[in-house]
Amino acid sequence: MSAPTVRRRRLGAKLRGLRGTRTLDEVAASSGGRFVTSKLSRIETAKSAAKAKDIEDLLDIYAELGEDVTDELRAALIALTGEGGQRGWWHSYRGVIAPAYEDLISLEAEAASFSAWGLGAIPGLLQTGEYAREIIRATAISEEFEAHIDALVEVRLARQAVLTRENPLVLRAIVAEGTLRSSSTVEGMMRDQLGRLLAMGKRPNVSVQVVPSDAPLHVGQVGSFVVLGFGPHADLDVVHTEGLSTALSYIEEREQVATYREAWQRLTSVALSAEASADLIAEFRKNA
């Protein structure tokens, strides 16, 4: 049995919400033989991967039971099965990227918004190739990891297609001023990276703000994080954080996700406006 993924857990949580006060036995009895209680339990607890057809049938049952099953909700839950579209490009990098990283990429592909706080580094979706290479190399903690740097850079750059696709991801990035001051032995690296921030910040779906170094103490000083939003389906939202010992980790409980949303909003109150941030980035770029 494969380990539950973030997508499967989010799917199970949404289905539990639709079931409401009904028991699994009651839903199985309403299915006309399409489901047994044990199968419903495995889907809800993410112990087995649900097929798209199973979710279609289950949503039909909930609609018949009076639940509000919109076309939008149906599409969102089918997407979480991983069968709603073509095989993701990232599957060709299996063996190089960890399952938790695959989760992040697949979630980015389906998310509507990406609210990122970068305490020590510029968010990956806004990195240039050279900056990405330097950051990956600097944080590599094993020889095996270092051996895959080229592939990991490719993956990071390929992820950025979500910003320029049809119906692009909305990226709202807030970064600490210190990230703009980074130095490198690679000539021109930071100048190019700051130029990319300025260029991307002009896109209608991207905003970049900077928290100045003289800002008062704030909630972002506990570490970087990202809130992945799924539009009207806030109960599908998920937070991811990153660290040396834990790699990628996810926060999925609704109350905790709400806490991170509030933290991100608080960061906007200590950050410079997008316009003032662009001026500051441009000033740093002149001296990079």
Write out pLDDT tens, residues 206-242: 999 999 999 999 999 989 999 999 887 778 899 999 7
222, 188 in Cβ contact below 8 A? Answer: no
180, 210 in Cβ contact below 8 A? Answer: yes
pTM of the model: 0.82
Write out pLDDT tens, residues 135-193: 988 887 666 667 789 999 999 999 999 999 999 999 999 999 999 998 888 889 999 99
Residue type at 66? G
> Tokens 């993410």 map to which residue?
46
> What domains can be seen in the chain, in order of their start residue?
6-80 (1.10.260.40), 95-286 (3.30.870)
List all residues 6 or more positions away from 216 whose beta carbon is below 8 Å from its beta carbon. Answer: 270
The SS3 call for residue 215 is: coil
Token pair recorded at residue 68 = 């509000």
pLDDT band at 3 (very low <50, low <70, confident <90, very high): very low
- CA atoms of 47 and 196, how far apart (whole Å): 42
pLDDT higher for 10 or 28?
Answer: 28
239, 250 in Cβ contact below 8 A? Answer: yes
* pLDDT reported for residue 1: 32
Q: Tell me how far CA of residue 198 lies from CA of 55, 150, 203, 270, in angstroms.
A: 43, 26, 9, 20
